[in-house]
Amino acid sequence: MTTKIATATALLLLVAGCGADATPTAAGDKKVTITNCGTDVSFDKAPERVVLLKSAAVPYLHSLGVMDRVTARAGQYPKEYYDTATQAEIDKIPLLTDKTDTSGHLQISKEVVISQQPDLVLGEVDNLSRDTLSAVDIPLLEEPALCQGTTAVPAFDDIYSQMTSYGKVFGREAEATAAIAALQARMAEIQKPSRVRTAAVLYPTVGGGVTYAYGSASMAHPQLQAAGFSNVFGDNKERVFEVTLEELLGRNPDVLILLYSDGDPKAVEQAVTSLPGAEKLKAVANGDVLPQLFNFTEPPSPLSIDGLEKIVRRFS
């Protein structure tokens, strides 16, 4: 996100300068209701005290110019995701905790979040549900692809829909329209390789353990298609599932994309390439393995477009 981010930012400023109201009121002081994870969430005014429990919303909030509404954050925010301007905004936000369990899930108490007096929490975590916050009149929004029990198949159009939703919530609909146009322009510029190859998107366990693969219900699937690849696990209707090396060898993809949440990408790659028999995989033998931070693929967000561009550059 370099020259293209600057172009998108310029477009946002142009729209803002043509009469868009930058006052943080939800839809001009009218009540706004968003359906999120099957629940209606209403706002009488634009949120002014936002607590982030996941990083997925950051690129949306940055595009809309409302990162200054985030008063606290928790979890992991890898610097590799952000351009200089976004990182500067994140650095100004107090970090409540970045403690996670062994599966990478955030560990934070209800009391810590409530003490921040938020008028919106973004991201649901295991020990702090929507219902828990609703009981104390704090609304919560989750990225639709991360809603529990969702059966919707993700697509790049979901990014535009979510930008529109955040634009309504924060009263920044003109900025949302401009941001969507900039993202669509980037998608139109992406050139697929002329040769169609096969690929698999995996989430390996560093240090030994289960390897997961992503099927057609994950954002990894349309991302691979947009990059000109055929997902070898595209016949699996699940989002993510355990996979053995034997099954991976049976499908033998040309390319491997390895998702990870944080840590050393070399260790992530070694978690697969060091498996007994992994050298028989075409992707490993040819060096066509790309470790990629998780949010560059899932959930659908502007970072998914960044991730798509990275995949195309790496394997073009």
Q: Does the pLDDT value for residue 296 go beyond 80?
A: yes
**Can you tell me the distance from the alpha carbon of 268 to that of 263, in angstroms, rounded to the nearest whole number?**
8
284: pLDDT confidence band, cut at 50, 70 and 90?
Answer: very high
**Closest to 53 (Cα-Cα) out of 110, 134, 136, 131:** 110
Point out the least confidently predicted range of 129-133, 190-194, 244-248: 190-194
User: For residue 4, how many other CB atoms are within 10 A of its CB?
Assistant: 17
Average pLDDT over the chain, rounded to whole? 90
Query: Please, are residues 34 and 81 in contact by the beta-carbon 8 Å criterion?
Result: no
pLDDT at 107: 86
Domains recognised in the chain with CATH numbers: 3-187 (3.40.50.1980), 197-315 (3.40.50.1980)
Query: End-to-end CA distance of the chain, in Å?
Result: 19
Report pTM: 0.86
pLDDT at 100: 79
pLDDT in tens, 108-125: 999 999 999 999 999 999
State the angle between helix axes of 173-189 and 302-315 in degrees (0 to 180), rounded to the nearest 10: 10
User: For residue 196, how many other CB atoms are within 10 A of its CB?
Assistant: 10
Token pair of 54 as six digits: 């996941």
149: pLDDT confidence band, cut at 50, 70 and 90?
Answer: confident
β-bridge partners, 255: 199
**Can you tell me the distance from the alpha carbon of 196 to that of 194, in angstroms, rounded to the nearest whole number?**
6
**Can you tell me the distance from the alpha carbon of 138 to that of 292, in angstroms, rounded to the nearest whole number?**
34
Q: Does the pLDDT value for residue 49 go beyond 70?
A: yes
29: pLDDT confidence band, cut at 50, 70 and 90?
Answer: low
Query: Please, are residues 41 and 65 in contact by the beta-carbon 8 Å criterion?
Result: no
Q: Does the pLDDT value for residue 21 go beyond 60?
A: no
Query: Please, are residues 53 and 109 in contact by the beta-carbon 8 Å criterion?
Result: no
pLDDT at 102: 62
128: pLDDT confidence band, cut at 50, 70 and 90?
Answer: confident
List strand residue ranges (DSSP E) for the chain, in order: 32-36, 39-43, 50-52, 70-73, 120-122, 140-141, 197-203, 211-214, 229-231, 240-243, 255-260, 289-293
Average pLDDT over residues 247-269: 95
